Chains A and B, each alone.
Chain A
Amino acid sequence: MHQATSATAPRLELRNVSKRFPGVLANDSIDLSVAPGEIHALLGENGAGKSTLVKIIYGVLHADEGEVLWEGAPVGIADPHAARNLGIGMVFQHFSLFEAMTVLENIALGIEKAPDMKALAERVVEVSHAYGLPLDPDREVHTLSVGERQRIEIVRCLLQNPCLLIMDEPTSVLTPQEVERLFETLRQLSAEGVSILYISHKLEEIRALCDRATILRGGKVVGSCDPARETAKSMASMMIGAAMRELPTRTGRISDKTRLEVQGLNLDAGHALGVSLKDVTFSVRQGEIFGIAGVAGNGQGELFQALTGERTVHVAQEVLIDGIAAGRMGAAGRRRLGMCSIPEERHGHAAVPEMSLAENFLLSGYRRMKLLAGGFVQAHAMAELAQRVVRDFNVKATGIAATASSLSGGNLQKFIVGREILQNPGILIVSQPTWGLDAGAAAAIHEALLTLAGNGTAIVVISQDLDELLTLSDHLAVINLGRLSKSMVTVDASIDEIGLLMGGLHGMTEHQPEQTEGGVHVA
């Protein structure tokens, strides 16, 4: 199935590859070599240069300096088309699929010559069975789970018989069981001689899967190792360039006082591709962190809106804030009752990109911090509070006149988190608090949330990062297809059970054909 390879030359070799963007050297003389059949990890924090490097390999970007060798011979990879012709396939972190089309139609669209649909369907079934990637070619994509969608992308690559498969953060959207299944597929490919370049920042996964790891920091290769011989901690310190900071132990106790109670919450999807919330029930006590796990697109966005009041529900009693029925209150009313929130999207949702930090403080802070006098903004008090957030939460910015868009993701998130914490919320609803942040910023945010809970705030953390929830939360529940599981005590919860809840129910209840598929999953 694969081209014969020379025994000595590495499949892919990069020599001295550099790529400069205005103001930043994204890749600084990078050397990398991947042997045939090797599973090679590319490890680094956000901004370390991983994405730039694989985009160069896949022909999306072009190196300023250095050379790319394929099977020992120098090549110029002009565009992704040329990369595919060489035998390079890539599965992107964000899928490019048409939701309203079938699996087969989506795969056909990615193939350059118009294929014979019947023969293609047979090939898809053949390949998907050979690699343990069960797919029904006639299912429409919008009915599929994220894991199943990823299989489409992988099968799409495998149809081209790749010699090198690039996987960009493939497990960030998968359940633990799906991750295990993916690893089996990748090991099988590797045994057949396919090289795999595996991009991730999840250290345990890399230890379990990869033969070798190259670690990037600040655009440079800072080391390479055999992951099986390292500990997660030793690789993390190479990745960050310093020892990991330990999270503080929790101070303060969870009291018996319930701050937030959600009783049989229902909400319509709102638009065609949304998810309806059905009968969501949970409660959070003073000083407690309640985690909501789940694979993306299972109603997390709708739940955030329903909890914060960005969308109201029909029955006021479905959301109780300190015993007050708040289901029909908007965001302003709930904030008055002491509920603050931190949305997932920082630019344009949690903050206005083109406005200054001072004005962004005003955005959510003017009611609780009493920044108005007769409708007029108290500019001095506003500036003082924004300044305090910048100082107390160690936000790196040129000043409070800096626009939100001029800050890095981590610093803007520190500002946003600080802004809400400074308002001393009774309840805080947080969605994906450390999404896209480097380890240092993520640790600072985790620390701030733990301190806040220690001071008695009831916190709801909605996150797709299970590790984050296991670190932070006292109780957690899993959202799937708009339904929330029973809550469990985090320290007693089994990863297997959480994983089953995250993906298990999907398709079995609503899509009958999936049940037969389910049998293939297990096989």
Chain B
Amino acid sequence: MSLRIEERRELNLRMFYLTPLLAVVLTVVAGFLMFLSMGYDPFLGIYHFFVSPLLTVYGLAELGLKAAPLIMIAVGLAIGFRANVWNIGAEGQLTIGAVAGGGLALALIDVEAFWVLPLISIAGILGGMAWAAIPAFLKARWDVNEILTSLMLTYVATLTLSALVFGPWKDPMGFNFPQSEMLSESATLPLVLEGTRLHAGVVVALLIAAAGWVVMTRTIIGFQIRVVGQAPAAAAFAGFSRKRLIWLSLLTSGGLAGLAGLFEVAGPIGQLIPSISPGYGFTAIIVAFLGRLHPIGIIGAGLIMALSYIGGENAQVEAGMPQAVTGVFQGMLLFFLLASDFLARYRLRFDSGGNAADLRKEAPAE
């Protein structure tokens, strides 16, 4: 008896879009079993994790608040992923974006003007781009693997932020806590829903997703990105510059991650602290794939992953579950997505010995 893996003859397009939903369902089922085995009431656990956050306005606002950076970053990453440019370091670009924009906001802390917020937003974008430019240069110039460079630069970025808030940028009135002064009113994102923390960043995220969709489907740049990803030799034949597309995709994803980082600082956090992101830059990688690298899919995937953050917090508060529950659910979701993708593309066959052996037995008897 042996197990064989065979490629399916026709790639089922419906399955391609159904597997993300299947992965979500399987994650809920597995979560149910996990709660059961841990001795929690599984119905209550699932309720606290997936349902109760959606029942209040505050919960929904928090969902949007957490989904916004995930969507923004994932839209940028998806562009690169389609061109086979693997930016794994969005977390670092997010951090440097926050440093650049937040630093400028601290310098302008006494200025009250409408242009402060746009200016620091641009600084955030440029910061993220600058951080992504390092792997872009190394890849375009010497073909250095961007997965490694972008990932390693993440740790440099978070340590840079720590060094700043533990050192020169520390609030002198802050009782020696590692945090900067609070940003001024002009450097803070306006709220879109009073009484919640939901800020204008969520609107920007939706606009970015829409723009990403238009770029990928309607423009020659989007076409070139898809060709480079699917058939690099055809891109060379058509005269598309590979280097230009490496730069373009890394700068785009880096810039969007930087903006997301700045929005955290100018939004819910309001100041620079050592840890400004609960891993949005990494979670956005899951969001990009769960959303099938498609901007519309990414909006849905961003909301689901945001729910895993909020549900995890809720489960801690309401049911006394450990903090790790968030990570476990995110991990299960990615696992089930990859597994169901694999099974949509290949079929497993159990057989006893294989056809070749059968023929060997039969043939002489003929």
Contact = CB atoms under 8 A, between A and B. Distances in A.
Nearest to B359: A62
Interface stretch (A71-79, A88-96, A195-203, A456-464): A71-79
A359 interface: yes
Scoring B236, B240, B356 by chain A CB atoms within 10 A of each residue's CB, the highest score goes to B236
Contacts of B142: none
Contacts of B220: 362, 366, 372, 375-377
Contacts of B221: 375
B34 interface: no
Interface string A323-361: 000000011111100000101010011111111000100
Scoring B221, B238, B359, B364 by chain A CB atoms within 10 A of each residue's CB, the highest score goes to B238
Nearest to B241: A330
Size range of the chain B interface in the assembly: 20 to 34
Interface in B260-289: none
A355 B363 contact: no
Interface in B211-225: 218-221, 223
A248 interface: no
Instruction: Tell me whether chain B's interface is mostly helix, strand or loop, or mixed.
Output: helix
Nearest to A62: B359
Contact of B227 (A309, A352, A379): A352
A75 B363 contact: yes
A447 interface: no
A375 B221 CA distance: 7
Interface in B225-246: 226-227, 230-231, 233-234, 236-241
B234 A350 contact: yes
Nearest to A366: B220
Interface string B330-366: 0000000000000000000000000110011011101
B141 interface: no
B241 A345 contact: no
B237 A354 contact: no
Interface in B87-128: none
Given A372-B220, A375-B221, A331 B238 contact: yes
B22 to A, nearest CB: 23
A363 B227 contact: yes
Given A349-B231, A349-B234, A366-B220, A62 B356 contact: yes
A519 interface: no
B9 interface: yes
B356 to A, nearest CB: 7
Contact of B230 (A67, A355, A377): A355
Interface string A205-219: 000000000000000
Contact of A352 (B234, B360, B364): B234
A330 B239 contact: yes
Contacts of B362: 76
Contacts, number: 85
Given A78-B363, A377-B223, A310 B236 contact: yes
Given A76-B363, A352-B230, A341 B237 contact: yes
A76 B360 contact: yes
Contacts of A372: 220
Given A353-B231, A377-B223, A309 B363 contact: no
Contacts of A352: 227, 230-231, 234
A22 B240 CA distance: 38
Nearest to A333: B239
Contacts of B363: 62, 75-78
Nearest to B236: A310
Scoring A62, A74, A330 by chain B CB atoms within 10 A of each residue's CB, the highest score goes to A62
B365 to A, nearest CB: 9
A411 interface: no
A175 interface: no
Contact of A310 (B9, B230, B237, B364): B237
Interface string B195-219: 0000000000000000000000011
Contacts of B237: 308, 310, 331, 341, 343, 349-350, 363-364
A67 B365 CA distance: 11
Interface in A467-493: none
Nearest to B221: A375
Scoring B218, B362, B363 by chain A CB atoms within 10 A of each residue's CB, the highest score goes to B363
B231 A76 contact: no
Contact of B359 (A74, A78, A345, A359): A78
B46 to A, nearest CB: 39
B227 to A, nearest CB: 6
A348 B231 contact: yes
Contacts of B227: 352, 355, 363
A366 B221 CA distance: 12
A78 B360 contact: yes
Given A375-B219, A377-B219, A331 B239 contact: yes
Interface in A1-34: 22
Nearest to B229: A352
A363 B218 CA distance: 14
Given A67-B366, A76-B364, A372-B220, A348 B234 contact: yes
Contact of B238 (A333, A354, A364, A376): A364
Nearest to B233: A349
B239 A76 contact: no
A363 B238 contact: yes
A376 B218 contact: yes
Given A22-B9, A62-B355, A377-B220, A74 B234 contact: no
A203 to B, nearest CB: 34
Contacts of A345: 233
A330 B219 CA distance: 22
B242 to A, nearest CB: 11
Scoring B9, B221, B230, B234 by chain A CB atoms within 10 A of each residue's CB, the highest score goes to B234
Contacts of A343: 233, 237
B213 to A, nearest CB: 13
Question: Nearest 6 pairs between A and B by C-beta?
Answer: A76-B363, A332-B239, A331-B239, A349-B233, A348-B231, A78-B360
Interface of A: 22, 62, 67, 74-79, 308-310, 330-335, 341, 343, 345, 348-355, 359, 362-364, 366, 372, 375-377, 379
17 contacts: A62-B355, A62-B359, A67-B366, A76-B360, A78-B356, A79-B356, A332-B238, A333-B239, A341-B237, A350-B237, A352-B227, A353-B231, A359-B223, A362-B220, A364-B238, A377-B220, A379-B218
